[in-house]
Chains A and B, each alone.
Chain A
């Protein structure tokens, strides 16, 4: 986060961008998964679409224009099997968690709560895909 108060619209746009990236990424990951994992990826993909719609409406309600999704997102690594697909899903959820953590820094209390609750969902999904929990989801370690 930069210095100074975080703008609600900026934080919401960042969350929207992370959701759009997740929607794209789950499309790639899902193609390499099967069985219950594929079902889980499909559920998560649907959830991210719903979150995208929610954020779009919230940004519009604040009088701003939601930034459109990109046609293509660069992925952190090649996805060629179930293990790399699950690693990608965890990576995507980490990005979503970081973005929602940005919302927790805004002054609007309802947005703070919204961001805090949303990041619990993405942290739980990241833990599922990674197979382990983290002490500080969303707080960047680098």
Chain B
């Protein structure tokens, strides 16, 4: 299933993931912190946005009746799947501190989110991912496109919810 296909896809590596110290004796012209590749930076930004989306959903569920929470939970669960797949593609050099999920959960989440705000966020996410997918490797572009399509379906799902 998805995990298997994710494992088969080429991992994203930071351009300077290897240490130069032992590998070759010559002077290192780029001494200092290795730069992250543009793909890694893009992926980190998309992961950050996905976390923000999850926080928005959590804020939207505060105080909602159980029947409505169930609908939102279904969509939230799909965003958690998005996040897991995105994180699975991220391979950082060991020197880089990996952002922890628990830290981000306690990060500033809005107190209350309306359904209209969720719809706007889903639409914006789909647009953003489509803009980003032109410049990343094919496998990552396909993941972005699939998540964007999922977000687009959430817009319609939330429209039905809003009327309910």
Q: Which residues of A pack against B, CB within 8 Å?
A: 1, 5-6, 97, 101, 104-106, 109, 112-113, 115-117, 119-120, 123-124, 126-128, 132-142
CA distance A115 to B2 in the complex (A): 21
Answer yes or no: B146 CB below 8 A from chain A CBs: yes
CA distance A115 to B133 in the complex (A): 11
CA distance A128 to B155 in the complex (A): 12
Q: A120: which B residues are within 8 A, CB to CB?
A: 126, 148-149, 152
Contact of B153 with A104 in the complex, beta carbons under 8 Å: no
Contact of A101 with B1 in the complex, beta carbons under 8 Å: no
Contact of A133 with B126 in the complex, beta carbons under 8 Å: no
Q: A142: which B residues are within 8 A, CB to CB?
A: 1
Number of residue pairs spanning A and B whose beta carbons lie under 8 angstroms apart:
96
CA distance A116 to B143 in the complex (A): 10
Q: How far is the CB of A91 from chain B (nearest CB, A)?
A: 16
Residue count of chain B within 8 Å CB distance of chain A: 33
Q: How far is the CB of B101 from chain A (nearest CB, A)?
A: 18
CA distance A76 to B145 in the complex (A): 26
Contact of B134 among A113, A128, A137 (CB under 8 A): A113
Answer yes or no: B130 CB below 8 A from chain A CBs: yes
Answer yes or no: B44 CB below 8 A from chain A CBs: no
Answer yes or no: B104 CB below 8 A from chain A CBs: no
CA distance A18 to B85 in the complex (A): 27
Q: Which residues of B pack against A, CB within 8 Å?
A: 1-2, 5, 74-75, 77-78, 81-82, 85, 126, 129-130, 133-135, 138-139, 141-150, 152-154, 156-157
Contact of B150 with A140 in the complex, beta carbons under 8 Å: no
Contact of B133 with A135 in the complex, beta carbons under 8 Å: no
Q: B146: which A residues are within 8 A, CB to CB?
A: 101, 119, 136-139
